[in-house]
Structure 1
Amino acid sequence: MQDKNITPQALWVKLAFRLFFRELKRGELTIITAAIALAVLTVLTLSSVTDRIGQSIEQKSNTFIAADRKLGSAHPLPDEYKTKSKEYLLKTADQIFFDTMLFANDNLQLSSVKAVSKEYPLRGELIIKDDLTEQANDYAVKTGPTPGNIWLSESVLYALDIKIGDKVELGAMNLIAQKVLVEEPDAPFNIFSASRRVLINIEDVPATQVIQPGSRVYYAMLFAGDEDNIVSYYKWLKPKLSENQSWWGVKDKQSWLSGSVNRAEKFLLLAGLLGIMLAAVAIAVSAKRYCENQYDPVAMMKTLGGSRSNVRKIFVLHLSLVTIFAIAIGLLFGFALQLIAVDYLSQSMDQALPEASIRPWFIAIATGATCALMFSLKPLLDLFDIPPLRVLRRSLGDSIAVSKLHLLLSALTIFSLMLLFSGQWMISSILFLSSAALVGILYGISRLLFKAGRGIGLSPGSSWSLAIASLQKRASANSVQLVSFALAIKLLLFLLVLKNDIINDWQSQLPVDAPNAFLVNVTHEQLDPIENMLSAKGISTTGFYPTVRGRLNAVNDELLARDYSEQDNEKKDEEAKSGIGRELNLTWLTEVPSQNEITQGKWFDTGVTGEASVEEGLAERLELKIGDSIEILIGSERFNAKVTSFRKVNWSSLKPNFFIILSPDLLSSFPATYISALHVPKESKKSLNVLLKTYPTITMIDVDSFIKQIRSTISQVSIAIGFVLVIVMFCGGLVLISQVQASLQERMQEVVILRTLGAKGRLIKLATLYEFFLLGLIAGLVAAIFSDIALLLVQQHMFELAGKLHPMIWLVGPLIGAGFVSSLGYFMIAKTLKKNTSDLLRVLS
């Protein structure tokens, strides 16, 4: 009686829910639910983990500038900037940089002074120690010196011949030498700048009376806070910035670190994109299979009088319920997995990872819903067209063709999801187009191979014959499987090789014996005794490079723009060609430095004079061509040199590098100082104090702390990359599982038929194993080739690595594909092969 009162609207809703719960209970929704959940899980896990790792890497990197952002100028910064920042909940600190003479015990030393406010540093820590004795240990502090005190680097203490507690005269003020300054988070890594580091409180600057009109001073304001607040603050600040004020973060500076951070973030982004592609493939396969499984129920409904409209409503709601349920499952497991991942990474990195934003959840839900809709759209439309006669003739509807429009919409869906996730056209296009080419070519090749299988002429009763016959029988289905296998293998090979190339490139630039110190301001007379002293202590060098300060004055007799003073109301010369804006460190060499590569032209000819080699970035900026003439100004002397080569310089190498190298005849007559990079073992560090005391005019720059920070960052990034790679490989394996599951019912039917015809169990097992072996072998070979092509493009255009082919993966790819797919495929159907024929028939019914 109650059913009679149910409205037609409520009836189809009730039927949809009944169908959903019945199929859920019977396990018929396993494949599509698992596929959608896999997509959501993959995207949520990868997005959350990469988001948190990216934030962690950026926070770690921000310690290199002691803040999240830095605002600098050669003139005092307005107080308005700091006042306004408080409205955006930002922390701030002030800095003033200048060079001056320090006096103590009748000794004097030119030093680089950094005056800081009490809030400094906003990120990172200062490392100090209490005295110069061997018993003194380094320790970290969160704030700088208090007023009246000065912290000095070891080299300054040695040069002034003082100890902790002595007075140091800085301008008109006497300060107490309170601590030994060991490390600063934002210490400049410039081997040509002054290395005599000194730290004072900014409140002491006025009393020193050092800063006078015309003094060369640099002012900086540090900012730290929530990234969204910083971005909002910069939107307010940007229109107010003048030309002589610069705003930047750690990734804005062209440094070794910024390149490493950018590479790491791009790799994590790639991993997320590959995860999306793998998940989309799994849904595309399972959605088609899901709709095919509904052919019989739809035919039955139409036989019982159900209209096409009601059938459409029932199955649209049914699919919506499946999608919602699968998304919820994916979110649940994805959240749990990313918690496990974050906990592992936090322990490995020895630091807590920041919280992820809401964006990964949004992308995960959007991915699951969009994929379910777009990949099910055409199969659903086909489902509604199933004729009622299928209840009598089960083959009706099986020949429905795949629509080209559906394929196009599916491809656009995948590309749109990749673009949504990455926000970058180039990286999305390279991966998408290379994968699309793989799909198209491999599908065509596979159809030809499988159709030609009958002509091989193997023994009728052999396992190989049965395997090839099975491949040929399911040519279309196996072609799709082959494409899916190849796509998964291609993406995994791509990520694995790229990960190794990136980390190997980092590690090659920082080998164990990399230089960790520099000697600067060495005179010609000091060369021999210093080299002998270093050799006696077992300290290796990169050789001594002569340096002369000079200015690039003109190109082809056209003067370059020089510096101009805004303070003195001087106007920029708009007609002059853009120049360097500062003096350069020039050198002369007879051979190309090991860390340089000639990219155009040729190195200096023996006996030819007046030649110059220019770094390719500078050449591009000045629009130089081989054969151009450049004018160099040193003091009051000027001379011309002919550009004979351009060089690619590895600025990441811890060795002296130069924008311009001149032939020896041009510079050898000028007074020069020498510079060298050293590798100083830890046990030899103390012995260098003798050298500094013997030659107080020499500057030694210790970059051990810089290298330690870089290696720490690389280690953390490597752990993160490795973990993300494991997640993507796991997702790739699940894609392969979903493909095998999709064909499981058809394979069960084949097993029943073969057993009925008298085939032995061993024959069927081997045939199945060989079938998957051939699928994996072909998929692995094609995947390796396309993966290498994509790698070549990505390495050159995204990661600024030397693009190269990897012939080894052409061999490894097929072996991995054959072994992985055959093992996985056989494992998946092993349970089916163990069942007796009556059990299989019961399952199929």
Structure 2
Amino acid sequence: MWAKLALKLFAREFRRGELTVISAAIALAVLTVLTLSMVTERIGQSITQKSSAFIAADRVLASAHKLDTAFITKAKEMNLQTAQMVYFDTMLFANDEMQFSSVKAASNEYPLKGELKVKSSLLGETVVAQGGPKPGNVWLSESVFYSLNIDIGAQVELGAALFNVEKVIVEEPDAPFNVFSSSRRVLINIADVAKTEVVQPGSRVNYRQLYAGDESDITSFYEWLKPQMAENQRWYGVKDRQSPISNSLNRAESFLLLAGLLGIILATVAIAVSAKRYCERQYDPVAMMKTLGGSRALIRKIYFMHLLMVCTMAVIVGLAIGYGLQEIATHYLAQSMDMELPMAGFKPWLVAISTGVICAVMFSIKPLLDLFDIPPLRVLRRNLGDRLAVSRVHLGLSALTVFLLMWLFSNNIKITLILFVSTLALIGVLFVVSKLIFGGGRKLGLKPGNSWSLAIASIQKRANVNAVQLISFSLAIKLLLFLIVLKNDMISDWQSQLPADAPNAFLVNITQNELEPVNNYLAENDILVSDFYPTIRGRVNAVNGEHVARKVSLQDNEKKDEEARSGIGRELNLTWLKNVPAQNEIIEGQWFDENAIGEASVEESMLERLDVEIGDTLTFLIGAQSFDAKITSVRKVNWATLKPNFFIILSPDVLKDFPATYISSVRIEPEQKQAFSQLLRTYPTITAIDVDNFVKQIQSTIEQVSLAIGFVLAIVVLCGALVLISQMQASLGERMQEIVILRTLGAKGRLIKNATLYEFLLLGGLAGFVAALFSDVALLIVQQQMFDLAGKLHPTIWLVGPVSGGVFVAALGYFMIARKLKQNTQGLVRALA
């Protein structure tokens, strides 16, 4: 019986439009979370997949010792693509010339991701290779041709084997980005390694196994592989590499995650406001039912059934619209990025449905319980029940619900706490401010009949309602400002690291005698060049007189000295400079002065690795000579800039008697490549490291990330606008009553319009000002803690926040009221009835 009544009431309320507000709010929450989750997941997977070209695979297993081929067999059984590689350094001979080169021996499947580009001659066109060299053939980088003075078709000797020179290597997807490593690249087939007889017991060789496939298959394979991995084996993906691209990917994923979190907050606010508004509009029908003998239990069943039906319908509609939106969005982004976006998993669906159901229940329980407490006497006294007490328990549960949803979505307690606490602080401050300002409305002696007076009076009359609106406005504005400024700061930081004229090649092994003529040649050909840095290889041998542990040979069963101090285990590239490099920042201590003797500046991560501090003395070993240097400063280095950087910089006096070579970065434009090639022919001992492809890939990835971030930001901005609209709709009924009363008393339409405009202008301006302040503080914390950016304040938004908040809220409120003012008084009365 009660179910039939509930269905009739539901149909009547649905036709009247009473359920549209809460239904739209729940649907908004669901579609927001689904759209953001699916778009961010698909974009994140796509960018990660494309960026996998930097390692020529999705994952790599690396080892200094030969890897078990059983790993490859198992991976193939689990539907993964595989390839194998071996790296070693050796001498390359041709005629009477020789060159120390870095050899990569790869299987036929290489590369699994990315493109290997070659030329058939030094002046030929670049093409994408279909597989690597066949056995007996060798592909060489361009610099090797100049060093050995050979051409295509020549023969070179590598170890005990002869090879035919077949191709010129132009680009390798996984070429190491190390400006101090050799650019003399040699690529052979892995089947030819044995016949070279170069790899012997004790040889310094690096082994790689490449894997590519579905993420689920890779995860399953790694679970099988992990227990069998030795300590000297490493499993890594593109985000594990310490490079500009990994930093960009991590920042992009963090931003997309952050946008999703803010979308959840906005969605929960919309549901809370709409649920309360719907229940308030049911006070009179409930009072009428109680007057006619309806029991509390009957009413409870009816409205709980309404909630279930509304929730089910809204979730379905939200899922349908959300899926459609993300399909449109990802189709547009796929065309803009010129790449196919992978399908999202089940998590976005589960999170969206959970968000809709949990929010609908948690934010509707208290308004529904209030609804059941409406007294029957409200039929005669319409104000009964309007001021029901706010439950602190419900507020606490609501806050906990939001926190848990954010944590569930992000799986990051740190960022969840930062956003949640800053939001609570904003609400607390706004509540106090609204009480002080709105409570003082009576004391303002404004003239009657004035629009400003009417606006102030309206604000004071609805102090509690306006306090809630102020909090909602400010919260939405804060989140929008937060995302917009963060997005601009991130992209600005990326662009500053890799500007349009970023270096795309490095010159290494420049001798002192070649320094001046090389510099002059570059200037004559208008080739942009950075500073020349002297370099020399050296090892940190002791700290404060205590020797560090040297690297032991596992091959010879040597044991590590457990009592020795931990060191680096390898030689470092040292330099000496008078001035601080542009991409370095002194964060502790003082840089060398003119009279500096035996001083050192250490990069911050190296300081931690050596477990030293300012004032400690480092002992360096270069060849058979050793010397001391005292640490006088600590530097923060921007490794993302494509310029030479160093872990340790010494004062000029320390290494003045040591022979050194120089390094510099240059910018080679397409029309300058011929002149640059001539430089390498003239000075064959100089090594040129081409990173142009690397720069292009990073810039391309950053552009794609920026596009994705811009789209996600647009979604969140739209959600914020819808929250503002739902909050204004919540007070629309009461405002219509005031309009009817004012018109009856003879107020002109212009007076009412201006008063409404001024009221929303004051609310929006105040909300924008407070939102700007809290947004800036939260930004400062998040930039430092989550994005590794130099946190800074943004005074500009302190002005932009109030202005944009006031203008937007005023325009929106004025538009909504202006439509109602077009109706005559009789029409408004009928609408209210």
Give the TM-score normalised by structure 2: 0.99
Match of 1:728 in 2: 716
Match of 2:110 in 1: 120
Q: What amino acid does structure 2 have at the position aligned with 1:602?
A: Q
Match of 1:410 in 2: 398
What SS does structure 2 have at the residue aligned with 1:182?
A: strand
The one of 521, 541, 544 equivalent to 1:553 is: 541
The one of 461, 478, 483 equivalent to 1:495 is: 483
Match of 2:760 in 1: 772
Match of 1:6 in 2: none
Q: What amino acid does structure 1 have at the position aligned with 2:122?
A: L
In the TM superposition, what whole-angstrom CA distance separates every residue of 1:98-119 from its partner, at most 9, and x where no partner exists?
Answer: 1112222322211111111111
Are the aligned partners of 1:630 and 1:640 in contact in 2 as well (CA < 8 Å)?
Answer: yes
Report the CA distance between 1:142 and its aligned residue: 4.5
Match of 1:102 in 2: 92
Are the aligned partners of 1:298 and 1:383 in contact in 2 as well (CA < 8 Å)?
Answer: yes
Q: What amino acid does structure 2 have at the position aligned with 1:71?
A: L
Q: What amino acid does structure 2 have at the position aligned with 1:284?
A: A
Q: What amino acid does structure 2 have at the position aligned with 1:798?
A: M
The one of 438, 446, 449 equivalent to 1:450 is: 438
Q: Report which stretch shifted further, 337-346 or 106-115.
A: 106-115
What is the alpha-carbon distance in structure 1 between the residues aligned to residue 805 and residue 128 of structure 2?
51
Match of 2:43 in 1: 53
What is the alpha-carbon distance in structure 2 between the residues aligned to residue 811 and residue 277 of structure 1?
24
Match of 1:562 in 2: 550
Match of 1:7 in 2: none
Identity %: 67
Are the aligned partners of 1:264 and 1:717 in contact in 2 as well (CA < 8 Å)?
Answer: yes
Q: What amino acid does structure 2 have at the position aligned with 1:116?
A: A
Are the aligned partners of 2:23 and 2:314 in contact in 1 as well (CA < 8 Å)?
Answer: yes
What is the alpha-carbon distance in structure 2 between the residues aligned to residue 685 and residue 779 of structure 1?
57
1:158-237 mapped onto 2 (5 Å cutoff):
158-237=146-225
Q: Report which stretch shifted further, 296-305 or 748-757.
A: 296-305
Are the aligned partners of 2:240 and 2:246 in contact in 1 as well (CA < 8 Å)?
Answer: yes
The one of 10, 28, 31 equivalent to 2:18 is: 28
Match of 2:576 in 1: 588
What SS does structure 2 have at the residue aligned with 1:328?
A: helix
What SS does structure 2 have at the residue aligned with 1:486?
A: helix
Please, which runs of 5 or more residues in structure 2 have no aligned partner? none
What SS does structure 1 have at the residue aligned with 2:200?
A: coil
2:810 is equivalent to residue 815 of structure 1? no
What SS does structure 2 have at the residue aligned with 1:333?
A: helix
Are the aligned partners of 1:128 and 1:183 in contact in 2 as well (CA < 8 Å)?
Answer: yes
The one of 347, 357, 367 equivalent to 1:369 is: 357
What is the alpha-carbon distance in structure 1 between the residues aligned to residue 99 and residue 299 of structure 2?
90
In the TM superposition, what whole-angstrom CA distance separates every residue of 1:753-794 from its partner, at most 9, and x where no partner exists?
Answer: 100111011101111111111111001101100000000000
Match of 2:382 in 1: 394
Match of 2:32 in 1: 42
Are the aligned partners of 2:530 and 2:664 in contact in 1 as well (CA < 8 Å)?
Answer: yes
What is the alpha-carbon distance in structure 1 between the residues aligned to residue 518 and residue 266 of structure 2?
60
Report the CA distance between 1:189 and its aligned residue: 0.5
What SS does structure 2 have at the residue aligned with 1:811?
A: helix
What is the alpha-carbon distance in structure 1 between the residues aligned to residue 227 and residue 570 of structure 2?
27
Q: Report which stretch shifted further, 279-288 or 302-311.
A: 302-311
Are the aligned partners of 1:61 and 1:250 in contact in 2 as well (CA < 8 Å)?
Answer: yes
Match of 1:278 in 2: 266
2:64 is equivalent to residue 74 of structure 1? yes
Match of 2:501 in 1: 513
What is the alpha-carbon distance in structure 1 between the residues aligned to residue 160 and residue 289 of structure 2?
98
Report the CA distance between 1:681 and its aligned residue: 2.1
Report the CA distance between 1:229 and its aligned residue: 2.0
In the TM superposition, what whole-angstrom CA distance separates every residue of 1:422-477 from its partner, at most 9, and x where no partner exists?
Answer: 00011111111111111110121012111111222111011111111111111000
Report the CA distance between 1:687 and its aligned residue: 0.8
Report the CA distance between 1:491 and its aligned residue: 0.4
2:76 is equivalent to residue 86 of structure 1? yes
2:772 is equivalent to residue 796 of structure 1? no
Report the CA distance between 1:210 and its aligned residue: 1.5
What is the alpha-carbon distance in structure 1 between the residues aligned to residue 806 and residue 786 of structure 2?
31
Report the CA distance between 1:392 and its aligned residue: 2.0
Are the aligned partners of 1:460 and 1:466 in contact in 2 as well (CA < 8 Å)?
Answer: yes
1:334-733 mapped onto 2 (5 Å cutoff):
334-733=322-721
In the TM superposition, what whole-angstrom CA distance separates every residue of 1:131-169 from its partner, at most 9, and x where no partner exists?
Answer: 112xx2212234222222211111112222222222222
What SS does structure 1 have at the residue aligned with 2:66?
A: coil
Match of 2:748 in 1: 760
Q: What amino acid does structure 2 have at the position aligned with 1:457?
A: G
What is the alpha-carbon distance in structure 1 between the residues aligned to residue 816 and residue 347 of structure 2?
36
What is the alpha-carbon distance in structure 2 between the residues aligned to residue 828 and residue 571 of structure 1?
79
What is the alpha-carbon distance in structure 2 between the residues aligned to residue 48 and residue 21 of structure 1?
34
Are the aligned partners of 1:737 and 1:828 in contact in 2 as well (CA < 8 Å)?
Answer: no
Give the TM-score normalised by structure 1: 0.97
What SS does structure 1 have at the residue aligned with 2:653?
A: helix
Runs of 4+ aligned structure 1 residues displaced above 4 Å come to: none
Are the aligned partners of 2:102 and 2:182 in contact in 1 as well (CA < 8 Å)?
Answer: yes
Are the aligned partners of 2:75 and 2:221 in contact in 1 as well (CA < 8 Å)?
Answer: yes
Report the CA distance between 1:510 and its aligned residue: 0.8
Q: Report which stretch shifted further, 298-307 or 147-156.
A: 298-307
What is the alpha-carbon distance in structure 2 between the residues aligned to residue 454 and residue 395 of structure 1?
22
What is the alpha-carbon distance in structure 2 between the residues aligned to residue 324 and residue 207 of structure 1?
70
Are the aligned partners of 1:121 and 1:142 in contact in 2 as well (CA < 8 Å)?
Answer: no
Match of 2:120 in 1: 130
Are the aligned partners of 1:20 and 1:322 in contact in 2 as well (CA < 8 Å)?
Answer: no
Report the CA distance between 1:541 and its aligned residue: 1.7
Are the aligned partners of 2:596 and 2:653 in contact in 1 as well (CA < 8 Å)?
Answer: no
What is the alpha-carbon distance in structure 1 between the residues aligned to residue 235 and residue 353 of structure 2?
37
Report the CA distance between 1:583 and its aligned residue: 0.4
What is the alpha-carbon distance in structure 1 between the residues aligned to residue 77 and residue 372 of structure 2?
59
Quickly say closer, same or farther: Cα 1:142–1:58, change in 2 above 3 A.
farther
What is the alpha-carbon distance in structure 1 between the residues aligned to residue 193 and residue 364 of structure 2?
71
Match of 1:155 in 2: 143
2:17 is equivalent to residue 17 of structure 1? no
What SS does structure 2 have at the residue aligned with 1:548?
A: strand
What is the alpha-carbon distance in structure 1 between the residues aligned to residue 637 and residue 154 of structure 2?
45
What is the alpha-carbon distance in structure 1 between the residues aligned to residue 366 and residue 679 of structure 2?
79
What is the alpha-carbon distance in structure 2 between the residues aligned to residue 352 and residue 588 of structure 1?
48
In the TM superposition, what whole-angstrom CA distance separates every residue of 1:720-740 from its partner, at most 9, and x where no partner exists?
Answer: 011111111011000001011
What is the alpha-carbon distance in structure 2 between the residues aligned to residue 427 and residue 19 of structure 1?
44
- Report how many residues are paired: 833
Q: What amino acid does structure 2 have at the position aligned with 1:817?
A: G
2:815 is equivalent to residue 827 of structure 1? yes
What is the alpha-carbon distance in structure 2 between the residues aligned to residue 660 and residue 297 of structure 1?
78
Are the aligned partners of 2:753 and 2:817 in contact in 1 as well (CA < 8 Å)?
Answer: no
Are the aligned partners of 1:614 and 1:660 in contact in 2 as well (CA < 8 Å)?
Answer: yes
Report the CA distance between 1:336 and its aligned residue: 0.9
What is the alpha-carbon distance in structure 2 between the residues aligned to residue 242 and residue 557 of structure 1?
34
Are the aligned partners of 1:40 and 1:367 in contact in 2 as well (CA < 8 Å)?
Answer: yes
In the TM superposition, what whole-angstrom CA distance separates every residue of 1:300-345 from its partner, at most 9, and x where no partner exists?
Answer: 2222222211211111111110111111111111111111101110
What is the alpha-carbon distance in structure 2 between the residues aligned to residue 316 and residue 146 of structure 1?
73
